[in-house]
């Protein structure tokens, strides 16, 4: 008579490539959206499946919520969630059409008086959020939220009335930076890499690159991390590396770093893959679910960065 109850799992064959190790990690841990994203980027999966999974996070106001960005919990739409949704659509070649037009209407509805986006809209009040994302009643416009969204829309040739003032805000914010922190610099790069005025973008990027090096905002030697300060308010060890700024070789930020610095940072990124096959998240952990949901996202982006720079992943 057959025994009842769960059978032991079969032994896992050794995975010899970063991609194979990551694949097992994703199937074991990821949300449905990240499972479909991984399949699309690395296994020949369907863009339609990614879109279907992403639609579960969309609200009636055409913004996105439901912890799409893991550090913001609850159902309400937020600029950070909606920016995340745009990045997903861009990554599968679907950042356009009526869906994105409706998303722009949502962005218009939550913009500040100067036409740009706050990081956190006050509607988040009453729902859990990371302590490093404060909720205020009258939040200012932030390059952190606005820059990546404006850059994506320009790259995909989406034209909407919202873009005009938001683009002007980004130029003013980028060109007035005299001190900053890594996530804000990443947002600036995301804008500059797709801004329509290329000579202006190249000049602004050149200035930002000098700022990054002067203020040691990029850890240029992974073997000497103590030589590079972590930005105020960041978690211990929340360093940023050349690959964080220059996610592709064509990024304007690539010119900020020597070939040796870029190669060293990418080799360090390879080494950060953990025993379970996933990459770690660097942000401060404040709730058990946030790291579980963020690590598959980090894993997909690490593999995409490595592949974009020509490193073999499997």
Segment 31-66, tens digit of pLDDT? 999 999 999 999 999 999 999 999 999 999 999 999
Helix (H) / strand (E) element for 200: namely helix 198-214
Count CA atoms within 13 Å of residue 137 on its CB side.
0
CA-nearest of 77, 99, 204 to 156 is: 99
CA-nearest of 165, 171, 188 to 111 is: 165
According to DSSP, the residues that pair with 209 across neighbouring strands are none
Torsion sign, CA atoms 242, 245, 249, 253: negative
- pTM for the model: 0.93
Torsion sign, CA atoms 26, 31, 37, 40: positive
What pLDDT score does 2 carry?
43
Sequence-separated contacts (24+) of 62-66 with Cβ below 8 Å: 62/102, 62/103, 62/105, 62/106, 63/103, 63/106, 63/107, 63/110
What pLDDT score does 16 carry?
81
Q: Do 265 and 271 form a contact (C-beta atoms < 8 A)?
A: no
In tens, the pLDDT along 139-156 reads: 999 999 999 999 999 999
Q: Do 225 and 239 form a contact (C-beta atoms < 8 A)?
A: yes
What pLDDT score does 4 carry?
47
Please list the ranges in the chain whose pLDDT falls under 70: 1-15
- Looking at residue 236, the DSSP 8-state letter turns out to be T
What pLDDT score does 9 carry?
47
The number of beta carbons lying within 10 Å of the beta carbon of residue 187 is 25
CA-nearest of 20, 19, 96 to 51 is: 96
Sequence-separated contacts (24+) of 188-191 with Cβ below 8 Å: 188/143, 188/147, 189/245, 189/246, 189/251, 189/252, 189/253, 190/147, 190/148, 190/151, 190/152, 191/143, 191/146, 191/147, 191/148, 191/150, 191/151
């Amino acid at each position: 008579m057959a025994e009842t109850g769960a059978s032991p799992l079969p032994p896992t064959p050794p995975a010899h490539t970063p991609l194979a190790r990551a694949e097992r990690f994703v199937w074991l841990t990821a949300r449905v959206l990240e499972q479909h994203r991984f399949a699309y980027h690395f296994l020949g999966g369907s863009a339609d499946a990614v879109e279907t999974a992403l639609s579960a996070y969309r609200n009636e106001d055409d913004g996105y919520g439901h912890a799409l960005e893991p550090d913001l919990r609850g159902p309400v739409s937020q600029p950070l969630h909606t920016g995340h949704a745009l990045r997903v659509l861009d990554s599968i070649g679907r950042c356009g059409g009526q869906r994105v037009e409706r998303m722009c209407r949502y962005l218009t509805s939550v913009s500040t008086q100067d036409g740009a986006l706050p990081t956190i809209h006050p509607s988040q009040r009453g729902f859990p959020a990371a302590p490093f994302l404060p909720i205020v009643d009258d939040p200012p416009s932030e390059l952190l939220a606005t820059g990546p969204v404006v850059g994506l829309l320009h790259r995909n040739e989406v034209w909407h009335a919202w873009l005009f003032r938001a683009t002007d805000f980004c130029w003013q914010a980028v060109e007035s930076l005299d001190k900053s922190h890594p996530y804000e610099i990443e947002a600036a790069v995301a804008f500059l890499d797709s801004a329509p005025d290329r000579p202006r973008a190249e000049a602004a990027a050149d200035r930002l690159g000098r700022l990054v090096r002067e203020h040691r905002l990029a850890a240029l030697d992974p073997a000497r991390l103590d030589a590079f300060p972590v930005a105020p308010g960041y978690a211990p060890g929340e360093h940023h590396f050349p690959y964080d700024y220059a996610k592709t070789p064509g990024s304007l930020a690539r010119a900020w770093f020597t070939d040796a610095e870029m190669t060293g940072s990418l080799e360090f990124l390879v080494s950060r893959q953990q025993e379970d096959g996933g990459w770690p998240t660097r942000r401060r952990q404040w709730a058990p679910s946030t790291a579980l949901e963020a690590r598959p996202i980090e894993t997909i982006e690490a593999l995409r960065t490595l592949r974009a720079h020509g490193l073999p992943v499997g």
